[in-house]
Amino acid sequence: MAKNSSPPSPHAVDALPFLMQPEAYPPRLVCVVAGEDGFLRHEVRVSLCNQLLRSGNQQKEEAGEEVDDLFDLTTCAGREAELSDVFDALRERSLFGTSQRVVVVEDADPFVKRYRPQLEKYMERPIRDALLVLDLQSWLKTTRLAKAVAKLGLTIHCRVPQQGREATTLVKQLKDWLIHTAQNVHGVRLQRPAVDLLLERMPREVGILYQEVAKLALLVDPGAKTIDRQLVDEQVGGWRARKTWDMIDAAAEGRADDALKQLDRLIASGEDPHALLPQMASTFRRFTLAVRLYENADRQGQRLSLKQALEQAGIPKFKLQSAEGQLRQIGRERARRLLGWLLAADLELKGYNSTPQRARRVIETLVVRLSRQASPPRQPPSARSRQATPAGIR
């Protein structure tokens, strides 16, 4: 793969080329993941960690040793993290882990602001068998710290195409990445004319485009396994796409009346009820997973915020704040049952409720189950509820 011409040094790359070929940009001592696009920063962090831990695990497997990634990765919140704790995590070694330590400081803008001189000094003698990942929104390449990272580390710019001279290059990167993602994540071929039309009809927000490709992948002809221009033209419309996500948000927030009105408008405009359930499921499945992660961490005596659980469950960064409020509204008990409801709805749509009118009632039932009025009342303490209950989800 040809090197991107936009980065200012061989130790810098844009996020989308990195995600398509991470092995071409190996992590170096300190990695800075910078930019305003939260979804891209999340995807880059996951790719970085997987790349390093996979390399360390391969070494252990070759030596016939047992592997466990959890002992090698530490994640810190930038607003709360102390420098001493981060440095201790970089230096410590686990009996069961690999020889490579990975420490990620999320939302690291305040962390860098507090400890800039100490980080500059660390860059003079970094720990050689550890990787420090700084995830932040703002990163000025003219600072001493940025220049030090440019020499010894790797900077990954999480930029999205908007306006200006670089827009043409970034748009091409975005199209190539969407085609790459369709093939490697969803197992379908996204044709170039289809991705051109997709970018015409959708906002240039990477997370939204990623979700749209995931939706289209569920709707392709099983024999062809191809997303063509016709499918995009039929399923992706500026107004209908926005209203579909608005309807899902309203349902998750418990505003059943609003969600049902929007559902009515979508169906009246030609939207197929069968196409709505996969989009709803793509969000609601993550709520169930977030609750499981939250409860598992609590049982193990670990600290995991609701926001972190949602992010680990795959909620895009730009949706975390609203998703947190939605999950609180849904509640722990209903979130646990969401997978069962979604499976039942899917089976009904494929069976006796396959007609459009009956399919509509299946969607309406799911919306009503998530409404504020249907929220389960608080139960008195019982043998089950007296167990450790994660704070923040009733």
pLDDT tens per residue, range 16-28: 999 999 988 888 8
**What's the DSSP call for residue 71?**
G
Angstrom distance (rounded) from CA 293 to CA 263? 31
Mean pLDDT of the chain: 82
pLDDT at 268 over 90: no
- pLDDT value, residue 38: 85
Region(s) of the chain under CATH 3.40.50.300: 12-157
Domain covering 12-157, topology: Rossmann fold (3.40.50)
Query: How would you class 386 by CB atoms within 10 Å of its CB: exposed for 0-12, middle for 13-18, buried for 19 or more?
Result: exposed
Read off the pLDDT of residues 217-250 as tens digits, 9 standing for 90 and up: 988 888 889 999 999 888 776 656 667 888 999 9
Assess whether pLDDT exceeds 50 at residue 122.
Answer: yes
pTM of the predicted structure, to 2 decimals = 0.59
Q: Which among 153, 136, 145 has a CA at the least distance from the CA of 33?
A: 136
Does 1 have pLDDT greater than 50?
A: no
Tell which CATH classification among 3.40.50, 1.20.272, 2.60.120, 1.10.8 matches the domain 164-230: 1.10.8
pLDDT for 326-336, tens place per residue? Answer: 999 999 999 99
Within 8 A by CB and 6+ apart from 70, the residues are none
Read off the pLDDT of residues 145-166 as tens digits, 9 standing for 90 and up: 999 999 889 999 997 765 445 6
Residue span(s) of the chain under CATH 1.10.8 come to: 164-230
Q: How large is the average pLDDT for residues 165-180?
A: 84
Element (H, E) at 42: helix 38-62
Tell me which of 125-129, 238-242, 354-358 is least confident: 238-242
pLDDT in tens, 51-108: 876 665 555 555 555 544 444 788 898 888 899 999 998 888 655 555 568 899 999 9
Give the pLDDT score at 8.
Answer: 40
Please tell me the distance from the alpha carbon of residue 320 to that of residue 90, in angstroms, as a whole number: 28
Q: What is the DSSP string of 182-234?
A: HHHHH--EE-HHHHHHHHHHS-S-HHHHHHHHHHHHHHS-TTT-EE-HHHHHH
The reported pLDDT for the residue numbered 191 is 95
For the domain spanning 237-375+386-390, the CATH number is: 1.20.272.10
Q: Which amino acid is at 240?
A: R
Amino acid 168: pLDDT: 76
Task: Give the long-range contacts of residues 273-276, CB within 8 A, separation 24 or more.
Answer: 273/349, 273/356, 273/359, 273/360, 273/362, 273/363, 274/349, 274/354, 274/356, 274/359, 275/215, 275/219, 275/235, 276/244, 276/247, 276/363
**Whole-angstrom distance, CA of residue 33 vs CA of residue 210:** 19
Work out the burial of residue 197: count CB atoms within 10 Å of its CB; fewer than 13 is exposed, 13-18 middle, 19 or more buried.
Answer: middle
Residue ranges of the chain that CATH labels 1.20.272.10: 237-375+386-390
Q: Which helix (H) or strand (E) holds 145?
A: helix 144-152
Q: How far is CA 147 from CA 139, 142, 150, in A?
A: 11, 7, 5
CA distance 230 to 387: 53
C-alpha span between 56 and 50 (Å, rounded) = 10
Q: Which residue would you say has higher pLDDT here, 7 or 140?
A: 140
Above 70 in pLDDT, residue 382? no
Q: Please answer whether residues 52 and 27 qualify as being in contact, where contact means their C-beta atoms are separated by less than 8 angstroms.
A: yes
pLDDT of residue 96: 52
Amino acid at 334: R
Strand partners for 52: none
Predicted local confidence at residue 358, as pLDDT: 84
**CA-CA distances (angstroms) from residue 36 to 88, 135, 214, 346, 356?**
29, 10, 23, 37, 41
Determine the length of the chain: 394
CA trace torsion 149, 152, 158, 164 (10° rounding): 80
